[in-house]
Structure 1
Amino acid sequence: MMVLKTIHMKEWETVKLSDYDNATLQELLDLQKRNIIKTSLTNEGILITANSNVGFEANQSFSLVIEPKITSLSMMRMIGFLHGFIPANEENLAQLGVGENSFRDLLILQWLDLVEKLSAQIRKKYVSVHNNEMYIKGKINLKELVKQGVVTERTPIEYQMLQINQPLNQVIKSGLLYFKKESNNPFIVNKINLLLRTYTSVSTVPLSIKFLDGIVSRLTRLEEAYKIPLKYLSWLLTVTGIAQGNRLGKSIWVNMNSLFQNYLTKVFNVYVPEFQFMAEVSNRTIFKYEDDSNPFNKAPVSIRPDLMVFQGGKLHTIIDFKYKNLIENNVSTSDLYQLSNYGLSIGEGKINPIILYPTMWEVPDQVIRVNISVLENKQQIIVRGVNLMELERLIESGRYEGIVGFAHGMLRDSM
């Protein structure tokens, strides 16, 4: 049996691959086309540079593993907060073992824990009827209804029944079988086999992001327990490549920049309700072709700030999320042009845009002055580190006031 080469790296790291063949080169170029890595040929070999994507992929030539700079558990806590679940504890994670698939299995384990909780609810809500078929029943408080005069004690009551072999459970079972097929971890496979016992009489359906998102949008109040497991499954199927046409189950990539942005945006929405937030809203009013000088009939150029922050209907600041090490590295010229333009156009030069970047400890703000003589107000760009370890600690401990203070600190428009 041929042992595949494993390329192991951290996000933003560059490694050199000296020993390679044409098939390996083509696979690396395919990853570059998908914006997972950057490659360059040198006399000494191929230089492979990671970006903000972390994850795992296996092909016929090699296995590529790109790990996050933060711990996997910290990353899972970000994902859990974003999707509304509490990640598995460290004891459960230890059972996964160490290996190139551990990152992927870690993400899958979170979903299996959600399914396990859902299955426990199913066993409580479903009752056996004839022929060993399973049905779900709603609970009716007959005594309370009699007190209210809605019914009498002799009023016939019909329970609402729902077969277990229905689309929601079919998707759950299909997800279990999908991850069982593609996982090499015996702990994961065994956990899936145990969960599948609840879904013995359930059929399967082809996994489709469109179909899955559609049934999530139509969930009723009685089906609320399915919401988080199905939404997280939809996200998992997206990062494993179903939505992009990648090799099913052999690829799982999480864009840390998007995760960082979505995580903080949710923190702001939850803990600072006095502000209003508009994420990635396209503005086509700033750069428009002149009607008499647009021979190719082109549409206005769109600008799309990551996050606009309003208070009392008035623009408070504009935020750009950069998942980069801005302690050791300078802000790029293109990032400064972009954010300064947002401040001058949307903010009319009257606000100080903010760049938020991840850190593991408290760091002071960096302030960049925009020297444009025609500005009435001297604009500044604030480069602010987000201490992810401190935010994680506050969320884990449930310190509401601490999180509120943290969020306000990130949104202040001055040092």
Structure 2
Amino acid sequence: MPRNEPLQVFEYESLRVGAVKGNTKFQQKHFKALVKLNELHGNKYFTVGYKKITFQQYVGVLQVDDLCIEVLPKADRNAAKPGVWRNVLIDMLKATRKLKVNQVEHANVTKQSKHFLDIYFEWYLDEVQKLIHQGLIKKYDRKQGNLTILKGKLVFAKQISQNLVHKERFYTQHQVYDKDHLIHRILYQALGIIEQFTRGGYLYGKCKSIQLDFPEVKAIQATAATFTQLTIGRKERPYTTALEIARLIILNFAPNVKSGSEKMIALLFDMNNLWEEYVLVQLKKAVQNKEYRVLGQHSKTFWNGISIRPDMVVMKGDKTEFIIDTKWKIIDQHKPSTNDLRQMYVYNEYWQSPKAILLYPTNEEKEFKIKEFENIEGRGTHHQCGLGWIGVIKNGALNKEMGKDLLKLLAIE
């Protein structure tokens, strides 16, 4: 299906029915389809009002038939710069390995003019094409069917129901060694979805060519449970990336949602998680040649099997130096929420850390404030909490020196 110019909105912005950009209009049918999609995902992507949707912290791309909506992050209150923030999002996804963009772009299509979905689709097509050139693997697979020879195990129920008058046939379950197995069925299903969303675009021909080169496999409708059945060993390891993208495409595709006829796909990422992961990647890179190390996803049991986990723990040897918790939000008058402060106090206690930092995004110069928690009678002050801000954009692009900037902020040499 050919796509028009995308509608670009920022997180926490509203989109009303009738909104127009260029030759693209947000219509009532799009609104109804997105409401259904949101319901399928626990109403987490946006809130619904009267003929409008208000986006939450999820950024990325949504497509309903010919309508493409790009939801962009934004870490300031200044004039919107969609082009800059679009590239910031793409570069963040690349840095956290959620996206791969070739250095050499398509001959006549730049990263800026590509639909966001096409970047993912092209990555997937390149991965599948590479697998075909390397040679697709064969696997053993169980199959059932009528044969003229007894091969494998006889399926008695089917034999009686189908071959009662055909004594020359045997309904069996047997093993075959070929390319028609679960991995290839998943990959082919994702190719079919891409075919639907690239008609009229430059990727359509490439997709059809790959489909023609792909072996004939049984059609399936994969679900989240299907992917749990996969076993990835040494032989299947080259398929890892392709399967990860296929999973993203298949599980976020909603054909004919409920009673509607619109086909939809939503590749959306929680900006809170993306910000945390990007800061972690940059900070780990910055301390590589220093005596510090950075731990992410480091949890401790808190109560009755419940764990707590700060975003980052900065250690020097066996001693905790800093606890860092990232917050993708703009706060007024340097006042964090009470819950955030309580959380940092607990982190300091459990990790025996002298300092905790609440880290926010910004594009302005802001003072780094660190302050001791108030005296607790009989215990005195023994740790502190600071508010820090790190610039997201530098020289018109994503700040790729963020780790070094953070070390300066923390006064780590």
Does TM-score exceed 0.5, indicating one fold?
A: yes
Deviations 1:360-399 (A, max 9, x none): 68x555214245123423513131315465898897xxxx
Q: Of the candidates 345, 355, 362, which is equivalent to residue 341 of structure 1?
A: 345
Shift of 1:335: 5.4
Instruction: State the percentage of identical aligned residues.
Output: 15
Find the aligned partners of 2:10 and 2:306 in 1 and give their Cα distance: 36
For 1:201-350, list aligned pairs within 5 A: 201-215=216-230, 218-240=231-253, 249-268=264-283, 272=287, 275-279=293-297, 281=299, 283-285=301-303, 303-325=308-330, 330=334, 332-334=336-338, 336-348=340-352, 350=353
Given candidates 85, 88, 111, the residue that maps to 2:124 is 111
Per-residue deviation, residues 254-313 of structure 1 (Å, max 9, x unmatched): 22222222333344556646525141636323xxxxxxxxxxxxx576544233344433
1:19-98 maps to which residues of 2 (within 5 A)? 24=31, 28=35, 31=38, 34-39=43-48, 48-57=53-62, 65-69=70-74, 70-83=84-97, 86-89=100-103, 91-92=105-106, 95=109
Q: Is the 8 A contact 1:111 1:233 kept in 2?
A: yes
CA apart distance, 1:323: 1.9
Write the mapping of 1:116-135 to structure 2, written as runs, cut at 5 A.
Answer: 116-122=129-135
Per the TM alignment, residue 81 of structure 1 is displaced from its structure 2 partner at its CA by: 3.4
2:334–2:387 CA contact under 8 A, matched in 1: no
- Please give the alpha-carbon distance, in whole angstroms, between the structure 2 residues aligned to 1:389 and 1:241: 38
- Out of 175-184 and 85-94, give the one that drifted further: 85-94
Alpha-carbon distance in structure 2 between the residues aligned to 1:346 and 1:334 = 19
- Aligned partners of 2:37, 2:180: CA distance in 1, in Å? 40
1:83/1:232 contact within 8 Å kept: no
TM-score (structure 1 length as normaliser): 0.64
Contact 1:240 1:253 (C-alpha < 8 Å) held by counterparts: no
Q: What residue ranges of structure 1 are gaps of 5+ in the alignment?
A: 127-161, 286-298, 396-401
Distance in structure 2 (CA, Å) of the matches to 1:211 and 1:29:
24
| 2:101–2:119 CA contact under 8 A, matched in 1 | no
Describe the SS at the equivalent of 2:44: coil
Report SS of the residue matched to 2:96. Answer: helix
Q: Which amino acid in the other structure matches residue 315 of structure 1? A: T
* 1:12 pairs with 2:12: yes
**Structure 2 CA distance for aligned equivalents of residues 93 and 383 of structure 1:** 43
CA distance in 1 between counterparts of 2:196 and 2:30 reads 26
Number of aligned positions between the proteins: 346
Shift of 1:199: 0.7
1:193 is displaced (CA, Å) by 0.9
Which string of whole-angstrom CA distances, capped at 9 and with x for unpartnered residues, describes residues 1-43 of structure 1? Answer: xx99x975212334566899799589559748522223556xx
Q: Is the 8 A contact 1:84 1:228 kept in 2?
A: no
Contact 1:81/1:263, CA 8 A, preserved across alignment: yes
Q: Answer 1 or 2: which has greater strand percent.
A: 2
The structural deviation recorded for 1:320 is: 1.4
Provide the residue aligned with 1:355 in structure 2.
358
- Classify 1:315/1:114 alpha carbon distance in 2 versus 1 (closer, same or farther; 3 Å): same
1:275–1:310 Cα contact (<8 Å) kept = yes
Q: State the one-letter code of the partner of 1:250.
A: I
Contact 1:241 1:249 in 2 (8 A): yes
What RMSD, in angstroms, separates the aligned Cα atoms of the two structures?
4.8
Q: Secondary structure at the match of 1:111?
A: helix
Letter in 1 for 2:60: G
CA-to-aligned-CA distance 1:72-93 (integer Å, 9 cap, x gap): 3443333233338741347329
Partner of 1:324, secondary structure, is coil
Aligned equivalents of 2:102 and 2:61: distance in 1?
A: 20
What residue ranges of structure 2 are gaps of 5+ in the alignment? 20-26, 75-83, 139-176
Distance 1:316 1:410 in 2: 14
Aligned residue for 2:374, secondary structure, equals coil
2:206 alignment partner, SS class? helix
- Say if 1:269 and 1:276, in contact at 8 Å, map to a contact too: yes
* Cα deviation, residue 54, structure 1: 1.8
**Code of the aligned partner of 1:259:** L
Query: Aligned pair in 2 of structure 1 residues 96, 210: CA closer, same or farther (>3 Å)?
Result: farther
Q: Which residue of 2 aligns with 1:149?
A: none
Q: Paired residue for 1:406?
A: 404
TM-score, length-scaled by structure 2: 0.64
* Mapped contact 2:189–2:250 kept (Cα < 8 A): no
**Using the alignment, how far apart are the partners of 2:396 and 2:238 within structure 1?**
28
- 2-structure distance, mates of 1:265, 1:393: 15
Q: The residue matched to 1:95 in structure 2 has which SS? A: coil
The whole-number CA distance in structure 1 between the counterparts of 2:29 and 2:219 is 40
Q: Structure 1, residues 65-108: CA drift from partner, whole Å, max 9, x if none?
A: 42344543443333233338741347329638999x92223322
